[in-house]
Amino acid sequence: MPVRVGIPRYLAYFSYYPWWKTFFEELGFEVITSSPTTKKTLDDGVEEAVNDACIPIKLYHGHVVELKDKVDIIFVPRLVKVRKFFTETFCPKFLALPDLLRASINGLPEILDTRVDLSQGPLELFRISREVGERFGVGLSRISRAYLLACKALRRYKKLMQGGMLADEALQHMEKGGDINRDKKRDLTIAVLGYPYLIYDSFINLDIVKKLRKMGADVVTAEMVSPRSLLREAKRLPKQMFWHYSNRAMHAAYYYMNRKRVDGLIHVTAFICGPDAMLDRLMEIEARQYGQMPFLTVSIDEETGSGGVDTRLEAFIDMLKRRRVQR
Amino acid sequence: MKKGYLGIDVGSVSTNLIVIDAEDEVLASLYLRTQGQPIRVIQEGMAQLSNLVPDGVEICAAGTTGSARHLAGVMVGADIVKNEITAHAVGTSRFIPGVQTILEIGGQDSKIIILRNGIVTDFAMNTVCAAGTGSFLDQQAARLTIPIERFGELALKSKNPVRIAGRCAVFAESDMIHKQQLGHCVEDIIAGLCEALVRNYLNNVGKGKEILPPIAFQGGVAANAGMKKAFEDALGHEVIIPKHFAVMGALGAAILAREEIESSNKRTRFKGFEVTDFSFQTRSFECKSCPNHCEVVQFYQNGEVIARWGSRCGKWDVQAS
């Protein structure tokens, strides 16, 4: 029976899943992911994780709880840096993720906590891949093949998103093929920015994307912008932030304020997230600076009642529509 | 027959009902406490309102707003169900032409709305903190055994307001008790509280907003003259309290309903004041179809399900009109 490797469907999953899945399957593993977030995931996560962690970290614990009795290994990479870009790293809770899980959850299978620091150069990812493969006794040629196919899968995933698909749409397209039916263009376009695990998890963001579309707004995200365009926008910041996902969100905000102007910006933020406290304010100030771009912050926490979010979204869309009529 | 338009605003603390005529003049208005029972209060309010409305007025449209707007909308048969921001902006613009800033402090939330040329250009609502809202003032009035109606009048008598921490309702309360035990008089403490609430409001909700006159101040808390003065001191501008300050949301909803019916030429869905005699009930159940276990609410009118909501996937949703 093949080794079963579990991949929690949360956090960096939305950025790298096709790479991980392809790589492990090509090595001969069976890949099992947790199901999309539900109330149970949230309950489990809140129960297991340290109390003062943010909701995303708690949710990740919930996904791990779901997987722990179904797999032989859980893959929880210790993401440090994925590019050489000033002093940028992932947030400290990402760096500590494997340790947090081990300290909090009983009865875990082996945690494969591969350290990922790609700031050393372009060959680093292959070196890491080789290390993982050899640990499980896989030969070099098979590892190389898995590595190349994994990189190819990730490239395709990113291309699909740059073509306008959301993460789940792109993943579905890669798995099942077929076209995502694009309905007609809507009146408004809104950039929804923030960490991928808040934007693409429809449970925890209370279905923001679906709601906006229903209200007549097309949604664009940071992943729909090419990395080159994002890097060009980076120059607008006098100093880069420390956190990878925060930088991406801010660069995308600049892009949608300047290059491809949208009707409004919505920043989705996790309550008590330290980096977000700064990012949110910065985005708000810049949105005002760059030609009065309408800006809304939606703060996400444990609550499952959607009243507050609905009222804000509805008022925001109303405002944009009435502005339009006037212009 | 004279045409009338109904607006209902069901908030966390108060439920307001209003009837206006085709020129947006107020024919009848009502301010009630929600007391955690929106359905009962709406029915009671409708009963009272039907007596207040002058003879020969026919309700041609109905609109609802506030946190229980969907519930209210289903109950009375609303033609339009709108969020509070839009409703307040519409209502205030009608009565204070050219208004550029609306400060609104209600029972459990507070908001700021920025308008330019009659269009909302920016808004904010309080996030997680209730310090500075009506509930907190109520609570402190009760603790000092001062009727909330006299709060403002007392605040204006103060010569030296004391400084009170307004960042958090719990800290504000312990700070007030501390000042009171030191021997400061009640007037100074109350005036200090008003200043603290205004400071907190401007820091939290009003953060980074361009507050330009004319400035309107409304919501239940606008009844408090001490708060008006504290706002004027902090902003350096006159603050206008609209005549119908406590029911502006309902007023906006009524205007929106009138516009909706006039522009669409449809017949109103309003069920009439008879809703007072209907039996309304809600029952909820937990859906077990997926691990989300959504709490689905079923709404019955005279024993028949007329609406259902609360499921994430939408499979249970029904909305009979």
How high is the ipTM of this complex?
0.79
Q: Do A323 and B121 touch (CB under 8 A)?
A: yes
**How close, in Å, is residue B55 to chain A by CA atoms?**
36
Residue B263 sits at φ, ψ, to 5 deg, of: -80, -25
Q: What does the block give as tokens for B142?
A: 């009760």
Tell me if A203 and B312 make a contact (CB, 8 A cut-off). Answer: yes
What chain A residue is nearest to B111 in terms of C-alpha separation?
Answer: A312
Question: Does domain B2-89+249-277 match CATH 3.30.420.40?
Answer: yes
List the single residue in B with minimal CA-CA distance to A205: B312
Query: Could B83 and A311 be called an inter-chain contact, meaning their C-beta atoms sit closer than 8 Å?
Result: yes
Residue B171, judged by CB atoms within 10 A of its CB (0-12, 13-18, 19+), counts as middle
Mutate to test the interface with B, among A38, A42, A306, A319 (most CBs of B within 10 A): A319
The dotted CATH code for B104-239 is 3.30.420.40
Lowest mean pLDDT among A4-13, A17-26, A299-308: A299-308
State how far residue A266 is from chain B, nearest Cα, in angstroms: 13
- In a mutational test of the B interface, the residue from A298, A306, A318, A326 whose CB has the highest number of chain B CBs within 10 Å is A318
Residue A327 has pLDDT above 60, yes or no: no
Least confident of A268-272, A311-315, B124-128: B124-128
Residue A80: per-residue pLDDT:
96
Which of B67, B80, B122, B205 to substitute to test the interface with A, most A CBs within 10 Å?
B122
Partner-chain residue, chosen from B82, B120, B291, that has the shortest CB–CB distance to A39: B291
Cβ atoms of A253 and A283 closer than 8 Å: yes
Residues from chain A contacting residue B294 (CB–CB below 8 Å): 39
What letter would DSSP give residue A29? P
Among all residues of chain B, which has the CA nearest to that of A324?
B119
**Which of A58-62, B126-130, B207-211 has maximum average pLDDT?**
A58-62
What's the one-letter identity of residue A211?
A: K
C-alpha count within 13 angstroms, C-beta hemisphere, residue A3 = 20
Tokens of B195: 């200043």
Burial class (CB in 10 A: 0-12, 13-18, 19+), A183: exposed
Q: Domains (ranges, CATH) in chain A?
A: 4-162 (3.40.50), 185-326 (3.40.50.11900)
Instruction: Judge: B119–A314 Cβ closer than 8 Å, yes or no.
Output: no
CB contacts, 8 Å: B291 with chain A: 35, 38-41
Determine how many CB atoms are found less than 10 A away from the CB of residue B287: 16
What does the pLDDT read at residue B319? Answer: 62
How crowded is residue A111: how many other Cβ atoms within 10 Å of its Cβ?
20
Number of Cβ within a 10 Å radius of residue A22: 23
Cβ A319–B123 below 8 Å, yes or no? yes
A35, A299, A318 ranked by CB distance to B127: nearest = A299
| Kind of pairing between the strands at A295-300 and B318-319 | unpaired
Counts for chain A of helices (H) and strands (E), in that order: 14, 10
With cut-offs at 50, 70 and 90, classify the pLDDT of residue B321. Answer: very low
Q: Which of A35, A288, A319 sits opposite B120 (nearest CB)?
A: A319
Rounded mean pLDDT of B84-106?
Answer: 93
Average pLDDT, whole number, for chain A? 92
Q: How far is A39 from chain B (nearest CA, A)?
A: 5
Residue contacts between A and B (CB atoms, under 8 Å) = 63
Q: Which residues of A touch B (CB under 8 A)?
A: 35, 38-41, 203, 207, 271, 284-285, 288, 292, 294-295, 299, 307-308, 310-312, 314-315, 318-319, 322-323, 326
Contact by Cβ (8 Å): B53, B21: no
Cα nearest neighbour of A318 on chain B: B86
CA distance A13 to A76: 10
A245 by Cβ neighbours in 10 Å (0-12 / 13-18 / 19+) ranks as buried
Q: Which of B86, B117, B293 sits opposite A39 (nearest CB)?
A: B293
Q: Which of A221-225, A289-293, B209-213, B316-320 has the lowest mean pLDDT?
A: B316-320
Which residues of chain B form CATH 3.30.420.40? Answer: 2-89+249-277, 104-239
Average pLDDT over residues A241-266: 94
**In chain B, which residues touch A (CB < 8 A)?**
67, 82-86, 117-123, 125, 127-128, 208, 290-294, 312
DSSP B316: T
At residue B309, the pLDDT reads 83
How far is Cα B129 from Cα B106, in angstroms, rounded to an integer? 13
User: Which residue among B83, B208, B290 places its CB closest to the CB of A315?
Assistant: B83
User: pLDDT of A9-60, one tens digit each?
Assistant: 999 999 999 999 999 999 999 999 999 999 899 999 999 999 889 999 999 9
CA distance B193 to B139: 12
pLDDT at B136: 80
Say yes or no to pLDDT of A301 above 70. yes
Nearest-Cα residue of chain B relative to residue A319: B120
CA distance B185 to B176: 11
Per-residue pLDDT of A237-252, as tens digits, reads 999 999 999 999 999 9
User: Which residue of chain B is at minimal alpha-carbon distance from A325?
Assistant: B119
Residue type, A319: M
For B15-72, write each residue's pLDDT tens digit. Answer: 999 999 999 999 999 999 888 899 999 999 999 999 999 999 999 999 999 989 999 9
Q: What's the rounded Cα separation, in Å, for the pair A40 and B282?
A: 26
